[in-house]
Structure 1
């Protein structure tokens, strides 16, 4: 394993630094997009090899795993973004060791929480008890091994992280698809998944052993207490945010049959897509943002965050437009017409993605605004559950999704106002609102053109041909609009031509 790369020099020009971070972000983004694409395509096999009830149980099991993972970590791995860039090697090793110990411990605790050994096991997941010890084991290994998804990026080993992401995603997808195709047995899939997660945990231990060593101190009460106190407010806030993001799914799982939940969960594929892009970009930018914050350069820190969000919007907004226009075709092609009710829910979620592009968690982490974010997320969780429950009982599956969408916009507004107050930078300058609005407009116009072309020329064609033709129109229109108005800074090529004249 090669030595850790040197961090970008604080003396480097802002342009050179941003260019380096963009390369890293695109490298991570490519790997995460590949991972997401495989996760998106795996159900092509699963819905055709598993019964609707088994597929519903498979989706419910993953919801349970991701809920526990979102709550258990308390952002302790993410706190390494704060501690590692400003620590010497022996101290870095200690932080990594105690973070690994913590993740192993909460993984075991999370496994117990979802097992039949817990007398307070939620009634919603009682149907998963048929899998016996598989459910708690999957939770424990997933939580414990998740440190591998972030530690190499924190240490700015982007190439290693990308390679590991691609390799593990390929192994998981091909293995599960083959098992489903050959056996049509959900239990076989879950045992195979457990083996893959165990392998990932071994890989994490090997990475730490080669990068930091397994010797030396593994735990310091003072160090861990400081790390935990720093991370806990953000971890609780992040846990509440994760619960908010999943609240409507739990509402649907509580009110509807398991096959209806499977349909609803299919529509949530947009959120993981955006999170893949956001994580890739912001994880690449965050170490440099941390150094700027340590140097008390608030404007520079916020500028990097704004640039990161624009980069995400540039990639996500046209994909969002494509999803909105071709929701029915996507669902019918990938999941079959049996899950066609997911399309309107997917369109509701599309509106949340517009706001989700504006990532603010990294700023609140660096500004130590965890307590405020915690209060906002607590209020938002309560509102999200109430609105989703009300929407589900009155308007069905789309109504359940609407609650979390409305609350997300409230959350962004509150956090942005808090950041403006703390930094003294006006609300209008916290993000490049003009460019984000322009990207939304480009994507909207391109989507309308794609919808018109597909409806006029390919109305009687199959979903594959409609999506290919419409996607080509959308991509061409978006590229043309971006090249004409947005590719050369503010105003784009048109402004540059006018300025020359």
Structure 2
């Protein structure tokens, strides 16, 4: 089914660009789902849908214990035992998925207790099956990327998300019920799992015939400390949602969930960068090339800053209109929550830089675990107190504040370990310039927003977006942010795609 692929010699930037392209298209495929749901489902039903998939996403983050990410560490390093590594990934994921499905089948009231919503009990068996299939099928992207077949991974990601979008949209349009969406999710998971089995059989012949406990033990030893830290991070990431959902009910949770809408958008870039940074950082760590890791990391931070910083500033300016256009005036109460939550966007710059380094240096995996145990403990107490007294806005403020503290702690640890000093500050100068460009663009968009007061939300969003983009793109070359090779690349693209420039170049040749 799959042609045998060879390792790709593409650069880190090219691989990251392919993954970002794939995940951006994947996001585009799924973008319409919540927009249609808020228009087809009652607010309470939309809240139930968000509760269900909050639980599914939390289970997918927690149950694998970070074990699948061991593929990024072991597949590039141990060519002889790749089949064993892949078999262990499948075995572990199948085991935890089956346990989750069995638990929900035997104890369906667990969901009702967790969310304070008795309506969820009837959906428990379907939710268990979704968790099983989605945990298994999530291995497809991990294994393909770890096997360094980035182009194939790009195609698979796009195809998977396009299929998911079609299934979900069909369920919403034809049936407009939560149960129909769950059946669509089951079909999607079954298709992806089938594709996974075809792929591993074509790449790792007879992989199921060899089980070596030393390989499994090595993977567990690497993955579990980081995985438990991932479990804690998963709880930390979603705990505020559970507090809000339990205390305020499904209808109000729908408001809160819309306020957290941008999280999948950030995950696109963060996951794409991590999937290529972890193997590259791991390879450099093996040769103790710490200086190269610093340069690699700062280059990647520069690239993601070019997207994260303007996105953050623009949403601060036009976020209210963003909510109105996408989710209708029914969800305008989500805007204050959204304004606080987008603080995570610039924090993703630190996540893109630090997380791959922490995973590459396996000896520091316990530090991350200890830090997250402390921050999770503080978060639980703060949410228990703050949600009662300050409502949903208090919950999101507490969650973001704890996240900021943790990111700063991890960043300081990475800085000390890599030996980053004041002499390395020039490596970060372009990020400061990008922030200046974003602020200038934000000021221009703010002025336009004031002039358009009283206009329809979509007009304000469109005009402000156009002005912001124009000023930002104009400021980048004026501030000297572009490198020589980037100038040359832009000229090549312009010569190829702009008719006037292409005609001018041909005339010069004559």
Scaled by the length of structure 2, what TM-score is found?
0.89
| 1:6 counterpart residue number | 7
Of 328, 343, 347 in structure 1, the residue corresponding to residue 335 of structure 2 is: 343
Q: What are the Cα deviations for residues 163-182 of structure 1, in whole angstroms up to 9, with x where unaligned?
A: 11111111111221122112
For 1:30 and 1:212, locate their aligned partners in 2 and report how far apart those are by CA, in whole Å.
Answer: 27
Which residue is equivalent to 1:416? 411
CA contact (8 A) 1:114 1:136 kept: yes
Judged with a 3 Å threshold, the aligned counterparts in structure 2 of structure 1 residues 330 and 50 are, in CA distance, closer, same or farther, namely same
2-structure distance, mates of 1:255, 1:176: 29
Question: Residue in 2 aligned with 1:83?
Answer: 74
Deviation, 1:99, is 0.6
Is the Cα–Cα contact under 8 Å of residues 313 and 357 in structure 1 kept in the other structure?
Answer: yes
The answer to whether the 8 A contact 2:30-2:162 is kept is no
Q: Which residue does 2:223 correspond to in 1?
A: 231
For each residue in 1:151-170, what CA deviation from the matched residue of structure 2 results, as whole angstroms up to 9, or x when unmatched? 21111211111111111111
Cα 1:247–1:429 change in 2 (3 A) is farther
CA shift at 1:114, angstroms?
A: 4.0
Give the Cα separation in 1 of the matches to 2:182 and 2:247: 26
1:477 to 460, 471, 474: 471
- Measure the CA separation in 2 of the matches of 1:160 and 1:93: 19
CA distance in 2 between counterparts of 1:109 and 1:122 reads 19
Between the aligned partners of 1:86 and 1:417, the Cα distance in structure 2 is 28
Alignment of 1:231-310 (within 5 A): 231-310=223-302
Question: 1:234–1:371: 8 Å Cα contact kept in structure 2?
Answer: yes
The structural deviation recorded for 1:411 is 1.1
Residues 128 and 323 from structure 1, CA distance in 2 versus in 1: closer, same or farther, beyond 3 angstroms? same
Q: 2:36 aligned with 1:45, yes or no? A: yes
Q: Partner of 1:185 in structure 2?
A: 177
Counterpart of 2:113 in structure 1 is 123
Which whole-Å deviations, capped at 9, do the CAs of 1:116-174 have from their partners, x for residues lacking one?
43786671245311224111111111111111132211112111111111111111112
Q: Deviations over 1:36-93 (max 9, x none)?
A: 23333211211111111111111001100111111111111111111111112x4011
Q: Which residue matches 2:20?
A: 29
Aligned to 1:103: 93
Q: Partners in 1 of 2:417 and 2:124 — Cα distance? A: 50
Structure 1: any 5+ residue segments left out of the alignment?
A: 9-16, 494-501
Deviation per residue, 1:462-485 (Å, 9 max, x gap): 122211111011111111111211
Structure-2 residue corresponding to 1:71: 62
CA distance in 1, matches of 2:170, 2:224: 41
**Are 2:139 and 1:138 aligned?**
no
Give the one of 378, 383, 387 matched to 1:383: 378
Q: Measure, in 2, the Cα distance between the counterparts of 1:437 and 1:372.
A: 30
SS of the residue aligned with 1:451?
A: helix
Paired residues of 2:336 and 2:393 also in contact (CA < 8 A): yes
Aligned counterparts of 1:427 and 1:346: Cα–Cα separation in 2: 35
Q: Tell me which residue corresponds to 1:92.
A: 82
| CA–CA separation in structure 2 for the residues paired with 1:118 and 1:428 | 58
Counterpart position of 1:365: 359
SS in 1 for 2:65: coil
Matches within 5 A, 1:306-455: 306-359=298-351, 360-368=354-362, 369-426=364-421, 429=424, 432-455=427-450
- CA apart distance, 1:400: 0.9
CA distance in 1, matches of 2:177, 2:70: 40
Local SS of the residue matching 2:138: helix
Distance change (3 Å), C-alpha of 1:104 and 1:332: same
2-structure distance, mates of 1:71, 1:422:
28
Offset of residue 489 of structure 1? 4.4
CA distance in 2: counterparts of 1:67 and 1:114, whole angstroms: 14
Partner of 2:508: none
Change (3 A) 1:42 1:432: farther
Residue number in structure 1 paired with 2:53: 62
8 Å CA contact 1:69–1:143 kept in 2: the answer is: yes
Q: Which runs of structure 2 are paired with 1:153-192 in the superposition (5 Å)?
A: 153-192=145-184
Q: Deviations over 1:322-376 (max 9, x none)?
A: 2222222222222121111111111101222212221212111111111110011
Give aligned pairs, total: 480
- 2:164–2:185 CA contact under 8 A, matched in 1: yes
Q: Contact 1:81 / 1:286 at 8 angstroms: preserved in 2?
A: yes
